[in-house]
Amino acid sequence: MKSCTFIIAVLFFIVITGDVYPKENRGAAEIILESGSRGNIAFPHSRHQDAISDCKTCHTLFPQKSGSIQALIAQGSLEKKQAMTVCQSCHKDMASREEKTGPTRCSKCHDKSLTK
């Protein structure tokens, strides 16, 4: 009987917390990343979320907030090209394993026509 009460308590807790914590905010599906004179980058955010299950792969370096990379660079807490290194090293690693991945060539990410 005790274990039955426990299970009911756990189920009740799950129902309650499901209402308390709202659905995860995944942000925009497509994001234009700023990159000074080199040309901005069209970043397919949702395709990355589908391919990479752990948000922290990117979001330990910068928070889940629009414009956070450039804000951290302006504050001096992130070097220019530090985020880019994360992008590129994943693409390089996956390409070397012949897996489907993103670009490693400068002009495949940077596009001057995206810079206003």
Write 108-115 long-range contacts (CB < 8 A, 24+). 109/41, 109/84, 110/35, 110/38, 110/39, 110/40, 110/41, 111/39, 111/40, 111/41, 111/42, 112/39, 113/39, 114/32, 114/39, 114/40, 114/41, 114/42, 115/35, 115/37, 115/39, 115/40
At its nearest, how many Å lie between ligand HEC and the CB of residue 17?
18
Number of residues located near ligand HEC, criterion CB under 6 A: 53
Q: State yes or no: residue 29 binds ligand HEC (CB under 6 A).
A: no
State the residues that interact with ligand HEC by CB under 6 A. Answer: 24-28, 31, 33, 35-38, 41, 43-45, 47-49, 51-52, 55, 57-59, 62, 64-70, 80-84, 86-88, 90-91, 94, 100-106, 108-110
